Structure 1
Amino acid sequence: MTEDFAPINLTNHFLIAMPGLQDPLFEHSVVYLCEHSQRGALGLVINKPCEIDLKGLFAKVELPLSRPDLDGAPVFFGGPVQTERGFVLHEATFAESDKPEQPVYASTMTIPGGLEMTTSRDVLEAISTGSGPRKVLISLGYSAWGEGQLESELGDNSWLTVPADTRLIFETPVAERYSQALKLLGLEPWMLSSDVGHA
């Protein structure tokens, strides 16, 4: 017998891994959900840096990086899907035209709540010259859940959820993002037990 879950939409929310989540890819992770519907969910892990930094990534794609504020900034492991591909989470940027809703970049997902996620090279080109979005988080790969999969994991107490705060994505030091995400719920890491919810 399959369980029926009431439809929920966690777009523009954080998923915070519970201590009982033993998957090494997601252990102690904070995931920003870019999209969540009955078909599934897509998100980016925002607190697991890769070995490469932005300067190295831009060199790899043969672009200069004339943004001193991004020198040494980490590239993140966004998740296990398409890890060779870059995903740029950034503040919303719109073309200066008579269509204010028209995004600037070729392949952009607009996320309700004021952010965008772009996968086309043109956003990297804009960032490299200093004309792109100011606040950015760049990841390799993304996280995905099939239909009903995330709801099932929530039912198993694998994740806590909280509405996203963009300051945590762009301003909070990486090492503090997990504890700060918990603080959005009024929690501290020591309050969580891997046994919570399992009778």
Structure 2
Amino acid sequence: MATKDCKAPEDAQDFLEGQVLIAMPNMGDPRFDRSVVFICAHDEEHAMGVIVNKPLDDIELSALLEQLEIAAQPQADETPVYFGGPVQTERGLVLHTLDYKLDTTLALSDSFGLTASRDILIDIAGVSPQRPAPRRYLLAIGHAGWGPGQLEQEIAMNAWAHCEPDEEIIFSGSKEPVWKRALSKLGVTSAMLSREWASARDDNQPLN
């Protein structure tokens, strides 16, 4: 039985902008296996989101800032860059708390925003003390996208569940088992999960 702030896949009928998608164990697309996705836009024509739990091993924020000729502060070496999805992987964007807002920022809810300008990287690097960086943020390369009705069809096939966003899941960093924590928010019983999921739990397989 789902908790009041989360819904099992069969209940997901409305537009999900500002919600979090959680890949179910029977997800058939390996690009989204065990993914947690913040949905930034969703209407009858399309859906767009950012995967928040797939840190890239070969890209560091400091190297990215260097390519853009932005002087990086020491903390940039420890800031991960994430695989946001398979669409437009040459472009970066920042999902962040809404204490930070530029003219180009898209407010996704009362708490979260999305900014895809060079200015936010300058502020994250600490170049401009007059304009502090967001309190919490996630830098991603690429994003996830769905065509008309595609996400609804995947939800109907039980590939996704969804729930309210949670800062501790979205911005928890690369060392947290984000997918497992997000899935636990659903409050589902073991009978609702596939044999593959049950096997993974029994075998203590790592969860990303």
Task: Verify the 8 A CA contact 1:63 1:128 in the aligned structure 2.
Answer: yes
Q: Is there any run of 5+ residues in structure 2 with no aligned partner, and where? A: 1-11, 198-208
The Cα of 1:71 is off from its aligned counterpart by: 2.9
1:59, 1:175 → 2: CA distance? 27
CA distance in 2, matches of 1:188, 1:160: 14
2:175 is the alignment partner of 1:169: no
Q: CA 1:133–1:83 in structure 2 vs 1: closer, same or farther (change >3 Å)?
A: same
Please show how residues 53-68 of structure 1 align to structure 2 within 5 Å: 53-66=60-73, 68=75
Q: Percent identity?
A: 39
Q: Distance in 1 between matches of 2:118 and 2:54?
A: 23
After superposition, the Cα gap between the structure-2 partners of 1:173 and 1:55, relative to the gap in structure 1 and judged at 3 Å, is same
The one-letter code of the counterpart of 1:33 is I
- The equivalences for 1:128-147 within 5 A come to 128-129=125-126, 131-147=132-148
SS in 2 for 1:62: coil
1:107 aligns with 2:113: no
1:147-168 Cα shifts (integer Å, max 9, x gaps): 1110000001111111111221
TM-score w.r.t. length of structure 2: 0.78
What is the root-mean-square deviation in Å for CA atoms of aligned residues? 2.6
Among 79, 83, 87, the residue aligned to 2:89: 83
Cα distance change of structure 1 residues 126 and 147 upon mapping to structure 2, 3 Å threshold: same
8 Å CA contact 1:20, 1:194 repeated in 2: no
Aligned to 2:77: 71
2:98 to 92, 111, 136: 92
Tell me the residue number matched to 2:30: 24
Number of equivalenced pairs: 182
The residue type paired with residue 48 of structure 2 is: L
Whether the aligned pair in 2 keeps the contact of 1:55 and 1:65 (CA below 8 Å) is yes
* Matched AA of 2:153: S
How does the TM-score come out when normalised to structure 1? 0.81
